[in-house]
Structure 1
Amino acid sequence: MPDAQASPSHVLLRDDATRWATAPPERTVLAVIHNVTSATRLLDLLAPFEGDSRVQVLFTCTGSSAFDAGIREFVAARQLPYVPWEEAKRQKFDLAVSSSRGGELQAIDAPLIGAPHGAGYNKYLPRTPDTGHRTPDTGHRTPEAFGLDAEWLTHDGELIPSAVVLSHDEQRERLRRGCPQAVPASVVAGDPCMDTLRAGLPFREEYRAALGLLPGQKLLVLTSTWGRHSLLGADFGLVRRALAELPHDEYRVLAAVHPNVWYGHGGWQVRTWLAPCLRAGLLLPAPESDVWKAALPAADAFIGDHGSLTLYAAALGIPGLLGAFGHDVVAAGSPMELLGAALPRVDAHEPLERQLRRAVTARAGDERLARIGDLVTSRPMRAAALLRRLYYARLGLDEPADPAVPRPVSLPLPLPTERRSPGTPPVLVDHRAPAAGGGALSLRRYPAAVQGARAGHLTDPHVVATEGEPDARWAHSADVLLARPPAPGETHRAAAARLLQQYPGCSLVAFAEGEAGCTTYARSGQRTTAAWEAPHSPVYTAAVAASALFVAANTSNLSAATLVVDVADGIPPARLTVRQQ
């Protein structure tokens, strides 16, 4: 191994760097990582350097975060040119950019630009461990938010950053109270992340398709920061409740979980805790990805806490609820504190879908939420240009000729699917038969395995399970059994008779046929075929057809040769042609 003390680990820091570099830079910038959360924000802050080969960016990590797992993988996956922290402290750079205040930032030999790593400055965070007081002693002065207080901005009485980036003018007054000497160094430059989200709004449908939503489906985004007062920390079961209570064909649920949760407990552990939810269809993006930036413009509603994603969602105008809120860690007078007072809390005793519908109705005319959203940035859609102006002034370079504009996040790649049982998960199906004069048969399907003891949102459901279902609760209580293809030499009728004998509680055995149609066998021996008429949404599957036939067989006014079936608000009903044989 080369001697790191004698020779820098990165070629561009060598004395003879010009001999080895393909594009010798005119300026070198140090990007300072604290943890994966700050690293993702840091990439937003560095976007103004795109396209300029005069500037070389090198990355380092202070090693000061309790959540230091995942950084090596983050750096490797993005091929970030990395310098060890001890070496970075020995080198001189033309500029440094940090999205956190942690670590020995005063040791960096470069003008330092400090920016927030979330939606502004909204939380308290003392440098010293909790000793029974929310904040450390500050001479009886009320502390300001993390990033706006002298505790984080100074070292031995000297200001650490040469520029303090603010996203809104209101933050300057809070900075004045928390660290007066930093006010002359403050620069209101807006919020690049908020600009990216707004730039993505015109591409809502593209994001929804990339996330796997079908036309007409709704997307609920659950946002959880970290800690005991976060959405997951306060009520881990809320994820399960959302999947249990919202109609499966109408809603998709995505959980945007803070990287500190993943790296604090381990990705395997988080996925294991959420395994029943993943089997029920939960979308769970990787913690280091920017999928959440596509999910928010694509969302129809959110349930959040005191994390930045909640504030971003509200600022985008998305209707929402609070599943938790950490009042003790939210800075007084911050936009987050105002949001905590404005958003309704999830009610444990009222059906969740009803609460979401009410939030949608209320959001349209809520000027208070609109004003809070405006506090995220006072320079909307200008952060890229203002940050570039700041950087290049410090670097002593002319800005590139091309304008610096906010760009929407790239379409997410298909989300990784979790390994699951080869059978279709069991569902509970509620139905509402049409009136005697006609109309659609209403079916609402809910994942059975996540229901728990609460099922007040269901009236008189029937159970649909797949042959081979490992959970005996559903296999032996199934009203409709989705059968596998018959064994070699076995007829469909013989296979159905075998299953009806094996499962005495089952009324109907269904075999998938053709394009999402099915053939069913009843205990009476009645054979029925059903096929969906084109065009129809992909949500109308063989399982839905089997449920419709089950309800028809038990409802006197559903004996027509064609059934009109409705499975979700927002998705057109489909026509099911029925033939009895």
Structure 2
Amino acid sequence: MRTEAEVLAVVRTVPSARRLLDVADVFAGDPRIAIHWALDPGSTLGGGARALLEARGIRPLSLSSAADAGPAPGSSSGSGNSSGSGGDRRWRLVLAASENSPLDQIKAPILLLPHGAGHGKGIASERVAQCAPAAIGLANAQDAARLASLSPASGAAVRVVGDPCWDRLVASRHQRSRYRAALGVGGSARLVVLSSTWGPLSLFSRHTDLAARLTAALPWDEWRVAMVLHPGVRAVHGDDTVFRWLRPALDRGLLLLDSDDEWRAGLLAADALIGDHGSVTLYGAALGVPTAFACFGWEEVDPEAPIAGLGRAGRYFDAGDALLGQVAELADGAGESGLAERVFAHQGGALERIAEVAYELMEMPRVRRDVAPVAVPLPRGAHPTPSAWWFRTRADGGGVAVERYPVAESMPSGARLLAHVHGPDPRRPAAATVVVGTADLDAYPGAYVAVQGAVVTLRGHGAVEAEGDMDTAVVGAALHAWVFQLGRAVPGQLRVNGSDVRLKVQWLV
């Protein structure tokens, strides 16, 4: 198919790719324009960028070939990528979300955008000036004034366009309950999200064990823990190393939100956010999620940036102190008021503003006037679930209250072990009081209760079927307390964690 204009999107890292994929929607529905993608290999944080593009069906050009020339006239747009390396026609427009790429080598008008929530670590004005962009799209007037003060020539190219990532978050708020369900956060459970940028001053570097400690300290049926890592962390250290560092937390059910859809869905589903000076923390706070800083890299942050203002006014989380009380207090508190209005101009209209600039630079009339942000799709990944828990019980009125904690090195006072027989560590079910995934108590002589599906078998007392939506493992733990600790008869109904569970007798001894 013949096109009238070829646009080049230059990707340097995963965050820049994500930003440009959002921005590319301004050309949706316009068959006159083909977008081609080029990968700049110059960043040590660039790992994962190619895989992200290829997952979208994009085969990126090398930046060197893209810089030499644009596609030849009349080249086929195919899947939106060019295989041509010659020709006498230059790119009609270049989109970039990093001034660190050698954009000055490309002979075309450049529209430069930030790849995060503004320029928290400062605006590299000299590099911006060297790129000589035809237009610089910024999130707010304050960023525009800062750049103009640093480089009047670059300031003249500034357009305040807002933030397309923020607009997608806002457009997705109505689906909060669906994101929570998709992430496995059900019922009255609350979600605390850890957010880390990259580098030695980041949360992940300073408090690498915080995710493991939180997953051990927070009751499983009341809390879920998620983590958003800057892609640069995995690019520098490698997936295998990062996953090994996080293994204890992952085994205890940590949600590692590593894709674009997942981290945004995680912020929308969050009840509390513990972060650092990265963009994700600013986005979460702007959404109104109660936010605290576990650390802050003041040495890296522009003191005039919005994240710096949030850091000065915000609350802090003591990662070395007891965790449960701090997390509960944070989630019960109020979120930041008015932050979004201070940080993001033209809310809901960023793509529209960017479209106006892009078509102006291409000297082409627009065919669409209804460019709007698209809601974040639901995450589709599996939800990690622990295979073993410490559990504690207590009499609660006429019933039993059960608390479960994913198994960690230290056992809570008075706790017993509940384990799935198909878990990775066979020692756990062999030592468990309650085993899950079997009805055969003879195979587990140390267990008093076995749970298989909806059926709970009690050693020496028979079996009952639990009716309702409550996790049957929790019902099994409650029945252990009721029958074996309190010495009561097997009931036809039992109140567990405040809810009545009907128990249909299968057989009694």
Residue 51 of structure 2, aligned match among 29, 50, 73: 73
Q: What are the residue-to-residue correspondences of 1:525-544 with 2, within 5 Å? A: 526-533=460-467, 536-537=468-469, 539-541=470-472, 543-544=473-474
Residue 301 of structure 1, aligned match among 240, 253, 272: 272
Give how far 1:170 is off. Answer: 1.2
AA aligned to 2:409 is: G
Q: Classify the secondary structure of the residue corresponding to 2:67.
A: helix
When residues 510 and 556 of structure 1 are mapped into structure 2, their CA distance, relative to the original with a 3 A threshold, is closer
Q: Equivalents in 1 of 2:167, 2:57: separation in Å? A: 25
Q: What are the residue-to-residue correspondences of 1:3-152 with 2, within 5 Å? A: 22=1, 24-80=2-58, 82-91=60-69, 92-123=90-121, 145=122, 148-152=123-127
User: Deviations 1:297-356 (Å, cap 9, x if unpaired)?
Assistant: 122222211111110000000112222321111111211112222332222455433222
AA aligned to 2:309 is: L
Give how far 1:371 is off. Answer: 3.2
When residues 550 and 99 of structure 1 are mapped into structure 2, their CA distance, relative to the original with a 3 A threshold, is same
Give how far 1:75 is off. Answer: 2.7
When residues 467 and 405 of structure 1 are mapped into structure 2, their CA distance, relative to the original with a 3 A threshold, is closer
Give how far 1:153 is off. Answer: 1.3
Give how far 1:427 is off. Answer: 0.8
User: 8 Å contact 2:112–2:135 — kept in the other structure?
Assistant: yes
Q: Equivalents in 2 of 1:386, 1:553: separation in Å? A: 66
Q: Equivalents in 1 of 2:154, 2:435: separation in Å? A: 68
Q: Say whether 1:383 aligns with 2:383.
A: no
Q: Say whether 1:282 aligns with 2:254.
A: yes
Give how far 1:577 is off. Answer: 2.6
Give how far 1:198 is off. Answer: 0.4
When residues 553 and 362 of structure 1 are mapped into structure 2, their CA distance, relative to the original with a 3 A threshold, is same
Structure 1: any 5+ residue segments left out of the alignment? 1-21, 124-144, 487-494, 501-505
Q: Classify the secondary structure of the residue corresponding to 2:337.
A: helix
User: 8 Å contact 2:132–2:154 — kept in the other structure?
Assistant: no
State the TM-score, normalized to the length of structure 1.
Answer: 0.78
When residues 90 and 271 of structure 1 are mapped into structure 2, their CA distance, relative to the original with a 3 A threshold, is same
Q: Equivalents in 2 of 1:540, 1:258: separation in Å? A: 34
Q: Equivalents in 2 of 1:122, 1:402: separation in Å? A: 32
Give how far 1:482 is off. Answer: 4.2
When residues 473 and 345 of structure 1 are mapped into structure 2, their CA distance, relative to the original with a 3 A threshold, is farther
User: 8 Å contact 1:122–1:331 — kept in the other structure?
Assistant: yes
When residues 252 and 25 of structure 1 are mapped into structure 2, their CA distance, relative to the original with a 3 A threshold, is same
**Aligned residue in 2 for 1:131:** none
AA aligned to 2:241 is: Q
**Aligned residue in 1 for 2:82:** none
Q: Equivalents in 1 of 2:424, 2:184: separation in Å? A: 27
User: 8 Å contact 2:53–2:60 — kept in the other structure?
Assistant: yes
Residue 362 of structure 2, aligned match among 395, 398, 403: 395
AA aligned to 2:333 is: A
Q: Classify the secondary structure of the residue corresponding to 1:248.
A: coil
When residues 563 and 303 of structure 1 are mapped into structure 2, their CA distance, relative to the original with a 3 A threshold, is farther
When Rg is computed on C-alpha atoms for both structures, the one with the higher figure is 1
4+ aligned runs moved over 6 Å, structure 1: none
User: Deviations 1:369-397 (Å, cap 9, x if unpaired)?
Assistant: 22333333021111011011111111111
**Aligned residue in 1 for 2:389:** 427
Q: Classify the secondary structure of the residue corresponding to 2:456.
A: strand
Q: Classify the secondary structure of the residue corresponding to 1:375.
A: helix
Q: Equivalents in 2 of 1:184, 1:469: separation in Å? A: 61
When residues 483 and 49 of structure 1 are mapped into structure 2, their CA distance, relative to the original with a 3 A threshold, is closer
State the TM-score, normalized to the length of structure 2.
Answer: 0.88
Q: Classify the secondary structure of the residue corresponding to 1:79.
A: coil
User: Deviations 1:173-203 (Å, cap 9, x if unpaired)?
Assistant: 2112222221211100000000000000011
User: Deviations 1:420-453 (Å, cap 9, x if unpaired)?
Assistant: 9xxx722111222124xx3x411110111xx334
Give how far 1:475 is off. Answer: 5.1
Q: Equivalents in 2 of 1:164, 1:469: separation in Å? A: 53
Q: Classify the secondary structure of the residue corresponding to 2:343.
A: coil
Q: Say whether 1:224 aligns with 2:185.
A: no
When residues 83 and 540 of structure 1 are mapped into structure 2, their CA distance, relative to the original with a 3 A threshold, is closer
Residue 575 of structure 1, aligned match among 476, 496, 501: 501
Q: What are the residue-to-residue correspondences of 1:395-414 with 2, within 5 Å? A: 395-413=362-380
Q: Classify the secondary structure of the residue corresponding to 1:363.
A: coil
Q: Equivalents in 2 of 1:425, 1:207: separation in Å? A: 24
Residue 139 of structure 2, aligned match among 158, 167, 182: 167
Q: Equivalents in 1 of 2:157, 2:437: separation in Å? A: 70
CA-atom RMSD, angstroms? 2.5
AA aligned to 2:388 is: P
User: 8 Å contact 2:294–2:319 — kept in the other structure?
Assistant: no
Q: Equivalents in 1 of 2:245, 2:419: separation in Å? A: 24
**Aligned residue in 1 for 2:401:** 442
When residues 468 and 25 of structure 1 are mapped into structure 2, their CA distance, relative to the original with a 3 A threshold, is closer
Q: Equivalents in 2 of 1:94, 1:578: separation in Å? A: 72
